[in-house]
Structure formats: structure tokens, C-alpha cells
Amino acid sequence: MAAEIKSPQSLRGRSTLGRWRSPSTALLLESAERRDDEVGVCVLSPPTDLDPDAVVRVLTHWGLREVRLLYLPVGFGSHHWSACRGGGRRFFVTVDDLEAGFQAGEDADAAFAALDRAYRTAAALRDDAGLEFVLAPLYDGEGAIIRRLDERHAVSVAPFVDGTSSPYGEYESNDKRERMGGLLGRLHAAGEGIPAGLPRRDDGSIPSRTTLEEALATLDLPWDTGPFAEPARALLADHADELDLQLRTYDALVPRVRERSDSWVITHGEPHRRNVMVDTRGGLRLVDWDTTLVAPRERDLRMVLDERLTGWDEYISVVGDVPLDHEALELYRQWWDIADIAVFIALFRRPHEENENTVASFEVLRSNLNG
């Protein structure tokens, strides 16, 4: 029996239901309401290009059989489900798009290898370094932490923890920044117990930069890859000069920061408040470890510290009296701003259609370029 996929038509103001049916398992996919303040959410509906039977088969490697999946419309470039099996235990299932444009590496194979190393690093932080706040993927029964679903997609499974998180944005309180300062201190101090060759090292590269530079060089030609191609070209043209200056400023910062090796630690990469859960006991859990790298500590700190450096005292109380590199903070602010434009330009430079995901992505691109 062929599997059937039905995607929600709209997520605004209501919940929608779709069902995957496979020979062995009935999977219920339910989309939660979209919140308008979650401007970074660009995966709003179940995928239409995945074979549901293949997902079911891959999950058996983790011992997940006869499961019920609830679709979670969160994230960009990845699809997520909660998976419940007999006995009520739940897991968090992620299908990563290896061609989304923001993954490390020049192709899907390189992106898969980078994810494997990132997730294994996170698992080592949890299992070997004893960091209870690291909500990392689980190894399957054969020792794999991520598995290929097809040429474009890969699957990982993590524990499902009940808790709450906030929309993407600035931390809402000094208390949260202070707690995060101490948490990052523990993370950054844990590197000695992790095999040196396991985590990748930040090389300063920006995802989809080549595509962005090609786009900047072809602004005088029409883009015909889909309904948002020409609007994206017009937006980029309006900001081409300032983006070119930003790229040159970033390139000048990279070698100056890289030569200062005393601040390099294992970093999460995106410890903004959306990636921080507060569990039912009030503990903090850090999720989404796909961007884990050895990098200057400021890669993480720039998302936690405010202008008053709230959280810094808590950080150095763990790691000791270390300097804060303000130039490195600026480097990673620039990196984030450029990457957040490049990945969306890459999306619209590829063949695409108008749907909930591309509509939301174009609005994010517009917001990023218009500041």
C-alpha cells in the first residue's frame, strides 16, 4: 500500500491535521498554531517530498516501532516530530535537510559528516563530561547517532523533555542571562574530557556564501527559479552596497580573531532563548546541537551577554578570570547577520514554489535585509 501524505493548508489561527499511513504504522501528524512572533520559523507544515515508510523503517534502528508521531512546526530546514511508543515514553525525531543551504560542507555528504561530528560531540558532553543540560541525540542500537534517510535527508532521535521555551529573540530577564552565563561556563570548561579530533573547528566560513556572491554578481539579470526569485533579487539589489561592505568588514575581522587561540572552546553556536528549554523542575536544557564547533567563546557569549555584560560574572565564576574579546563578539554578530541573509538567498536561487514555508522565508529575508 502506498503511503499517503497530506499537508495542512494553513496554520494561521487554527490547528490542522494530516495523516501518513504506512503498512505497519499509522502516524498522526498534527500541526500546532503558528505564533506570529516566531519570525524565524520557516518550516510550518509536514514535508511532501519524504517517503513516510522510509522514516518508519529508519526509526526501528532506535527500537521505535508502532509509534505515534505528532508533527511540530518548528525550526528552519529541518522537520520535527514527537514520537510516542507503547508505555508512553516519548522521543524527539528530527529530519535534517542536507541541502537546506545552512549546513556545513559543500554537498549533502559533507553536511551529513558535519552533523555526525556535531551530534557525537554533544553526546560526549552529555555522557562523558556529565553535562545534564545537554539535550543531545541518542545513539541507535548499532552505534549510529544520525542515519541517512535518502540522498537529501538524515534522521536523528533525541529524548523528549517536557518544558517550555521562548520565541527567538533577546533574553527576557537578567536572571535568565545570569543562569545562561553559568551554563555556558560549564560547557566551555568541559572540553578537556572530549576527544580532540571529534568536534570540528570553526574556519570562519559563512553558509551559502558562494551562492550569495553569485547572486550579487547577477543582479542585472532576471532570476527565474520561482515566484520569490525576482522579489528576492529586487530586495538584494536595494541593499547590495551595504552587504558588500559588511562582507569586507567580516573578512578583515576573521584573521585577527583566529590568531588569538586562547579563547577557543567547544561552543554550541546558537544559545539564543529559543534553544533553551525550562523543564518542569525549572532546570535549563540546551537543544539543537547541529552547529557545535570549537571556536572562540564569544561565538556563544554574544547571544547571552547584553550591553551591560549581564551574565559575564557568572561565566567567569566557572571558567576563571579570562578576557572578553569584543572584536570576536563583533565578528559573530556579523557572521549571524550575513548567514541569515545568505541561506534565504540560496533558497530562492533554487527552484521553489509558493507555500507556507517559502512565504514565511521571504518575510524573514525582507526583515533581515531591511534591518
pLDDT tens digits, residue range 78-95?
888 888 887 778 999 999
Binned at pLDDT 50, 70 and 90, residue 8 comes out as very low
Last residue of a domain, one of 101, 131, 160: 160
Does residue 222 lie in a domain region? no
Does residue 67 lie in a domain region? yes
Does residue 62 lie in a domain region? yes
Indicate whether 184 and 153 sit together in one domain.
Answer: no
Quote the CA–CA distance of 84 and 234 in Å, as a whole number.
46
The answer to whether 72 touches 94, Cβ cutoff 8 Å, is no
Q: Which H or E run contains 265?
A: strand 264-267
For residue 349 the three cell numbers come to 536561487
Task: Dump the DSSP string for 304-339.
Answer: T--TT-TTHHHHHHHH-S----HHHHHHHHHHHHHH
Indicate whether 201 and 73 sit together in one domain.
Answer: no
Indicate whether 194 and 128 sit together in one domain.
Answer: no
CATH code (residue 265): 3.90.1200.10
The β-bridge partners of 111 are: none
Does residue 143 lie in a domain region? yes
CATH code (residue 100): 3.30.200.20
Does residue 229 lie in a domain region? no
Indicate whether 78 and 144 sit together in one domain.
Answer: yes
Task: Dump the DSSP string for 33-63.
Answer: PPPTT-TT----S--SSS-HHHHHHHHGGGT
Does residue 230 lie in a domain region? no
Placement of cell 568536534 in the chain: 199
Helix spans in 79-159 (H): 108-127
Indicate whether 103 and 27 sit together in one domain.
Answer: yes
- Phi/psi of residue 238, each to 5°? -65, -20
Last residue of a domain, one of 160, 195, 214: 160
Does residue 42 lie in a domain region? yes
Give the Cβ contact number of residue 98 at 10 Å: 22
Indicate whether 191 and 127 sit together in one domain.
Answer: no
pLDDT for the residue 25: 30
Arithmetic mean of pLDDT over the chain: 85
Q: Does residue 37 have a pLDDT over 50? A: no
Last residue of a domain, one of 105, 126, 160: 160
- Phi/psi of residue 157, each to 5°? -135, 130
CB proximity list for 197: less than 8 A, separation 6 or greater: none
- In single-letter form, the type of residue at position 157 comes to V
Prediction pTM value: 0.84
Indicate whether 336 and 190 sit together in one domain.
Answer: yes
- In single-letter form, the type of residue at position 183 comes to L
Q: How many domains would you assign to the chain?
A: 2
Does residue 233 lie in a domain region? no
Indicate whether 68 and 91 sit together in one domain.
Answer: yes
Separation of first and last alpha carbons in the chain: 50
- Which range of residues forms the domain containing residue 93? 16-160
Indicate whether 45 and 129 sit together in one domain.
Answer: yes
Indicate whether 192 and 269 sit together in one domain.
Answer: yes
- In single-letter form, the type of residue at position 236 comes to L
Indicate whether 282 and 331 sit together in one domain.
Answer: yes
For residue 201 the three cell numbers come to 573547528
3-state secondary structure of 157: strand
What percentage of the chain reaches a pLDDT higher than 90? 66
Indicate whether 150 and 103 sit together in one domain.
Answer: yes
pLDDT tens digits, residue range 242-299?
999 999 999 999 999 998 877 899 999 999 999 999 999 999 999 999 999 999 999 9
The answer to whether 25 touches 56, Cβ cutoff 8 Å, is yes
